[in-house]
Structure 1
């Protein structure tokens, strides 16, 4: 083997190692992840081959023992590269390597099954042209910057795919696709179970709560504390069921019933609810800094905003201040609930929208929280292409902001006098 050809082989080995390592890390197949030592060995080999090439050019002489060692090392790495390529080709996840122009350089067998690609005719073609008419077309045309979840497979519509596009090498990209059909079926089973159980629990809880209301603590004073606690807990269980049903409705991805949402009466209602829940224990202020309205679901937006307001009342000590703010921003508009409550440690902020997640379980029980309110807020805002932003500092209160894009803003309806 000539030195230039040997160097090319070593470079190919290193390129294959990098590609295989990236595939292993991205797809989660630990079988493909080479050790760092192998990568370093390949790099050292390339440097040594380069030095050997310089020596050959100068002296035209290669020691036999040194050449044999390099040849054996090259063969060993070539065998590893072949195994890696075979493993990549056998992956159940689709993997497509694109050049800087978006042309297909390489794809594995799963790409043929899931994406409908064919070899050798699709090699060298533009991926966006090849899949423009498929379910992936709009995603590719938009730049494929964000992962795509739960989309029908172009070649097998019954399958559901999760897609991601990532930069690779020098102006190259790697597209990965995973069959998530089983995960989606399990998720649907979970959603159906929660919805059915919640619906079935609603009636008996209503009956229990009704009978508890008929009991008069004055008839049996010794049972008054027990009856009061039973009423509180039955109301809390009823609220949990209602929140679960709301989440189930939001997760079914039913079309959003959109209409003109007049913000002024909605904000006034939220303030009244806060005053009723506070019982005069807090200073509650409403600041309307814009008369802009929204386009969306009145019911869902009221539910989301109401959860933020009720949380502020529950977790703010007596004589604390709660401020509701509706204002315009450079990006659109923002509804904010500020409070001077206990505050939340930074390590909890990322998990606040998880179901039943609690910063303090004992405090949540004392205040009657269900642990589902912020999950509802997140789902409602997602359906309105909006975002929830949370700022908090222990001992200094919290600030929850619902940020809406300009496409959701409407001019207020003016009623003629």
Structure 2
């Protein structure tokens, strides 16, 4: 206990003792000492009760506290309450200033910010950008259900996903269909969600311009490259002595350029797609094809194994999935030294099925892994040129898997090889139909 509080207690007790002693002395003179002590004790108790009632009444009324001069316990209590009241007032003012600053910052954001009640999904607060992008108006839309208010945006099912809701990358604004929005739901507390809507109209327009440019340039390059490649094939080194190595290198580079153009056109087509075909993809013949392609590309330099442990088929586009799987298998052969091994395994997992391509090749440093699916990203430019890669294969794989709601997982260690796993959910798994036997098989 602090010294000044102990001093106040002692002074109060001393005052009480003094009152009782005076009462004893006065009572002795009157011949009634105990009566005088009792009356003095009742008076002291009444006074302390009155001070306690005064404190409780002022606390209940939340009055501004004033201090009085004195050295007793009640005066010390007044000073403590006054100090706490001042500190609380300062803290409250600071919190209000911070709240105003946060609200001003949120109001100044170009993105629409909407605070939602987690249980009812009703609007609690929104900034000015929410009026421009989402059409919410103050105060009429406060307390309204957001999904019903923002029709025809498909938000009801999305909001029901809560913490697991994936961002909506492109949706029309209810204010103007020409405005394209990116929506993200952030559960930032136990009772509230934060909806952030960003105007991505310009970004999407620029992305479309880029896609059109790449597609048009690639298409225009296809014809001249075909002509150049055709003339190179017609040229016989015997007719031009000493030009054999030069013609061979020209053919190799023209073929590489032609493959690059084809990959760019494929990637441009995939980026413009929103959905893919939904057909039954027979995985048994698909795996047989991958085995033949790996063996043809390897030319006997590697050990190749293909296992079908799932016994099911997939739902999607046979052509696109073959392109993705073939890219992974070809890369495994391309970047694995002679004598290494490549395994392809199609197996079940808890959430669906996975196709795994594993090699014992050079391996990839960990800091390169997050960027492997970027266009033209290369771990080693010289090695890629020697192997004939275009730098677009894994980007094509990523887009194909994304169209099938699948994901690509990459694991690698330098000197120990790499593993590329294509994970498909249960919605894209189909029971394999029995293949009827032919008379020859009977």
Q: Which moved more, 1:174-183 or 1:78-87?
A: 78-87
The 1-side partners of 2:159 and 2:219 are apart by 41
How far apart are 1:357 and its partner, in Å?
0.6
Query: How is 1:105-116 mapped onto 2 (pairs within 5 angstroms)?
Result: 105-116=124-135
CA contact (8 A) 2:65 2:82 kept: no
The 2-side partners of 1:98 and 1:255 are apart by 31
Over 3 Å counting, the alpha-carbon distance change for 1:332 and 1:138 in structure 2 is: same
How far apart are 1:410 and its partner, in Å?
1.7
Which one of 338, 353, 371 corresponds to residue 358 of structure 2? Answer: 338
Q: Which moved more, 1:182-191 or 1:214-223?
A: 214-223
Q: Does residue 377 of the first structure (1) align with residue 406 of the second (2)?
A: no
The 2-side partners of 1:92 and 1:137 are apart by 25
What residue number does 1:168 align with?
A: 188
Over 3 Å counting, the alpha-carbon distance change for 1:246 and 1:68 in structure 2 is: same
Which one of 414, 427, 442 corresponds to residue 394 of structure 1? Answer: 414
The 2-side partners of 1:53 and 1:356 are apart by 72
What residue number does 2:330 align with?
A: 310
CA contact (8 A) 2:162 2:185 kept: no
What residue number does 2:110 align with?
A: 92
Over 3 Å counting, the alpha-carbon distance change for 1:131 and 1:217 in structure 2 is: same
The 2-side partners of 1:65 and 1:415 are apart by 87
The 1-side partners of 2:156 and 2:254 are apart by 51
How far apart are 1:326 and its partner, in Å?
1.6
After TM superposition, where is structure 1 displaced by more than 4 Å over at least 4 residues in a row?
52-58, 61-81
What residue number does 1:179 align with?
A: 199
* TM-score w.r.t. length of structure 2: 0.76
CA contact (8 A) 1:351 1:357 kept: yes
The 2-side partners of 1:104 and 1:305 are apart by 46
What residue number does 2:305 align with?
A: 285
Over 3 Å counting, the alpha-carbon distance change for 1:366 and 1:109 in structure 2 is: same
Which one of 139, 149, 153 corresponds to residue 158 of structure 2? Answer: 139
How far apart are 1:194 and its partner, in Å?
0.6
The 2-side partners of 1:73 and 1:408 are apart by 57
Over 3 Å counting, the alpha-carbon distance change for 1:216 and 1:146 in structure 2 is: same
Q: Which string of whole-angstrom CA distances, capped at 9 and with x for unpartnered residues, describes residues 156-212 of structure 1?
A: 222111111212345322111111111110011011111111111111111111111
Long gaps (5+) in structure 1: 1-51
Q: Does residue 410 of the first structure (1) align with residue 430 of the second (2)?
A: yes
How many pairs does the alignment contain? Answer: 366
* TM-score w.r.t. length of structure 1: 0.80
CA contact (8 A) 1:150 1:160 kept: yes
The 2-side partners of 1:250 and 1:53 are apart by 72
Q: Which moved more, 1:208-217 or 1:181-190?
A: 208-217
The 2-side partners of 1:363 and 1:193 are apart by 29
Query: How is 1:5-84 mapped onto 2 (pairs within 5 angstroms)?
Result: 59-61=77-79, 81-82=99-100, 84=102
How far apart are 1:146 and its partner, in Å?
2.2
What residue number does 2:262 align with?
A: 242
Q: Which moved more, 1:128-137 or 1:319-328?
A: 128-137
How far apart are 1:405 and its partner, in Å?
1.3
Q: Which string of whole-angstrom CA distances, capped at 9 and with x for unpartnered residues, describes residues 19-71 of structure 1?
A: xxxxxxxxxxxxxxxxxxxxxxxxxxxxxxxxx98999963348999999997
Q: Which string of whole-angstrom CA distances, capped at 9 and with x for unpartnered residues, describes residues 365-397 of structure 1?
A: 111111100000000001111111111111111
Give the SS at the match of 1:156.
coil
CA contact (8 A) 1:135 1:153 kept: no
Which one of 115, 125, 130 corresponds to residue 144 of structure 2? Answer: 125
The 2-side partners of 1:296 and 1:217 are apart by 47
How far apart are 1:111 and its partner, in Å?
1.0
What residue number does 2:55 align with?
A: none
The 1-side partners of 2:412 and 2:101 are apart by 51
Q: Which string of whole-angstrom CA distances, capped at 9 and with x for unpartnered residues, describes residues 307-346 of structure 1?
A: 0011011100011111111222222212111111001111
The structure having more radius of gyration, on CA atoms, is 2
Q: Which string of whole-angstrom CA distances, capped at 9 and with x for unpartnered residues, describes residues 190-240 of structure 1?
A: 111111111111111111111111122233342111111111111111111
Give the SS at the match of 1:374.
helix
What residue number does 2:242 align with?
A: 222
